[in-house]
């Protein structure tokens, strides 16, 4: 019993640090893009580069929203099924074959994984948008 409780604490700490990392990456990127936007906005030599910076900023904001969604779904999953074995067995027994298609055994857990992945993908996509914008407009 003590081993399961210790594993739960470790998992909660890992999840908390993951959320902190997602928030730090996306919000830090948003602050950096806001400072870049203040430099390029209204200057003719940058042309349409400010449009790419705004698009990147919107992606960063979407990444922050996805991190909030991940954190919420993670808490729902932990409150509903505190022990992973209970979560897997309870969901599979109630939902039959469909339960085997869901990797973690509960819908909030699956949503949590997708929100986390989408937050990271938006962070990377934002960087690509700004980099491509700099290359296309010649703002390097």
Number of domains in the chain: 1
* Integer Cα distance of 63 and 95 in angstroms: 32
* Sequential pLDDT tens for the chain (140 residues): 456 677 777 877 888 888 899 889 989 999 999 999 989 988 888 888 999 999 999 999 999 999 999 888 888 877 776 655 555 555 555 555 555 555 555 677 778 888 999 999 999 999 999 999 999 988 76
Q: Determine the pLDDT at residue 42.
A: 82
CA dist list (Å): 72 to 22, 36, 77? 14, 31, 9
Could you identify the residue written with the tokens 């949503």?
A: 111
For residue 68, the enclosing domain spans 2-137
pLDDT of residue 85: 54
CB atoms within 10 A of CB 32: 15
pTM over 0.85? The answer is no
User: What confidence score (pLDDT) does residue 47 get?
Assistant: 81
- Tell me the C-alpha to C-alpha distance, in Å, between residue 7 and each of 19, 76, 80: 18, 18, 17
pLDDT value of residue 46: 84
What is the reported pLDDT for 10? 80
- The pair of three-digit structure tokens given for residue 102, joined into one six-digit string: 């869901």
Q: CA–CA distance from 109 to each of 8, 94, 127 (Å)?
A: 15, 16, 28
Q: Which residue has the tokens 């897997």?
A: 88
């Amino acid at each position: 019993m003590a081993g399961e409780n210790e594993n739960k604490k470790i998992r909660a700490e890992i999840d908390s640090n993951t959320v902190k990392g997602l928030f730090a990456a996306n919000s830090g990127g948003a602050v950096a893009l806001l400072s870049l936007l203040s430099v390029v906005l209204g200057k003719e030599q940058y042309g349409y580069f400010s449009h790419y910076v705004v698009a990147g900023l919107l992606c960063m904001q979407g990444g922050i929203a996805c991190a909030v969604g991940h954190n919420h779904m993670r808490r729902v999953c932990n409150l509903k099924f505190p022990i992973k074995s209970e979560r897997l067995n309870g969901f599979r027994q109630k939902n039959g074959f469909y339960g085997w298609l869901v990797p973690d055994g509960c819908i909030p857990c699956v949503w949590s994984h997708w929100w986390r992945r989408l937050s990271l993908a938006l962070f990377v996509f934002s960087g690509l948008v700004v980099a491509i914008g700099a290359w296309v407009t010649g703002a390097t």
